[in-house]
Amino acid sequence: MNVEKLCKEICDWLKKEVLDSGGNGCVYGLSGGIDSAVVAIICQKVFARECLALVMPCHSLPADTEDALNLTEKFQIPTRVVVLDAVYDQLISALGAAEQTENILARANLKPRLRMGTLYYYAASLQYRVIGTGNKSEISIGYFTKYGDSGVDLEPLGDLLKEDVYALAHYLKVPEEIIKKSPSGGLWEGQTDECEMGFTYAELDHYLKGGVVDPAVGKKISKMEQKSLHKRKMPPKFTVQR
């Protein structure tokens, strides 16, 4: 793969899509992870000052926030920090969810949905478009929060496998501490993508390219693909018989 060519094509595509839709620039969530770091640098390349990185800690690891802010300082990216801890706590309290310890995923998914609402507030205020950070590997198996991190206008990495994102990260000179750390949605302490999925990104990418993987891994991936079909479709609507 020609990474330089790929980067230029993504940048050209992003600029056209944003401007053709009437947007003045772009806003995105910056988590301190590799996918959002790549998106941040691409957005800065395309729109320079008409882009905004929102760092939105919600009971997040301080190291992730630090990595995000170090990236924005290195690349001179316009940034705002919106701390969502108190908002999340109030919502959990209002929902009576604090005692529902068995429903950890339902509570955790409130975090990306709060971030989505925050992103669209800034997008509406600035006439920007919300740029997603999802990649093909995760989208293919539904490893995202419906109406959370999938609630975006454009997905510049949406057709890139995780291995392609790593290649772009190296090309764009993303800091090594971001590239080397274990991918995580940061939804709860100790959570990592690969532990939660039950297989590695290397195995997932190999499967998606048509390669042969361990039968148990293939079964897990296939099951996740099927169970998440609803996440990748517009909501079905009733059709009146006329």
**CA 120/CA 97 separation, integer angstroms:** 25
Number of domains in the chain: 1
How many CA atoms does the CB half-sphere of 206 hold within 13 Å? 12
Six-digit token pair at 175?
A: 């800091």
> Is 218 domain-assigned?
yes
Residue 132: which of 16, 60, 36 has the closest Cα? 36
* Angle formed at CA 13 by CA 134 and CA 233, multiple of 5 degrees: 45
SS3 129: strand
Cα separation, 15 vs 12, whole angstroms: 5
pLDDT digits (tens, 9 = 90+) for 44-103: 999 999 999 999 999 999 999 999 999 999 999 999 999 999 999 999 999 886 665 567
Q: Give the β-pairing of 51-55 and 25-29.
A: parallel
The Cα 143–Cα 127 span in angstroms is 29
Look up the domain containing 24 and give its range: 3-232
The answer for residues whose C-beta is within 8 angstroms of residue 59's C-beta and 6 or more apart is: 85, 88, 111
Give the Cβ contact number of residue 117 at 10 Å.
14
Residue 237 counted as domain residue: no
Distance, in Å, from the CA atom of 182 to the CA atom of 241, rounded to the nearest integer, reads: 51
Residue 58 lies in a domain: yes
In a domain, residue 15? The reply is: yes
Tell me how far apart the alpha carbons of residues 172 and 38 are, in angstroms, rounded to a whole number. Answer: 7
- In three state form, how does the secondary structure of 50-72 look? CEEEEECCCCCCHHHHHHHHHHH
In a domain, 238, yes or no: no
Residue 145 forms part of a structural domain: yes
In a domain, 228, yes or no: yes
Which residues, at least 6 apart from 49, have a Cβ–Cβ distance to it below 8 Å?
78
Task: List the structure tokens of 12.
Answer: 């050209």
- How confident is the model at residue 14, as a pLDDT? 98
pLDDT at 185: 73
What does each of the 242 residues of the chain score in pLDDT, given as a tens digit? 899 999 999 999 999 999 999 999 999 999 999 999 999 999 999 999 999 999 999 999 999 999 999 999 999 999 999 999 999 999 999 988 666 556 788 889 999 999 999 999 999 999 999 999 999 999 999 999 999 999 999 999 999 999 999 999 999 999 999 999 988 777 667 778 899 899 999 999 999 999 999 999 999 999 999 999 999 999 999 999 98
Q: Is 126 part of any domain?
A: yes
CATH code, domain carrying 156? 3.40.50.620
What does the DSSP assignment read for 139-198?
A: HHTT-S-TTTTT--SB-TTTT--HHHHHHHHHHTT--HHHHHSPP---SSTT--HHHHHT
* Residue 15 to residue 25: CA distance in whole angstroms: 8
CA distance 153 to 120: 10
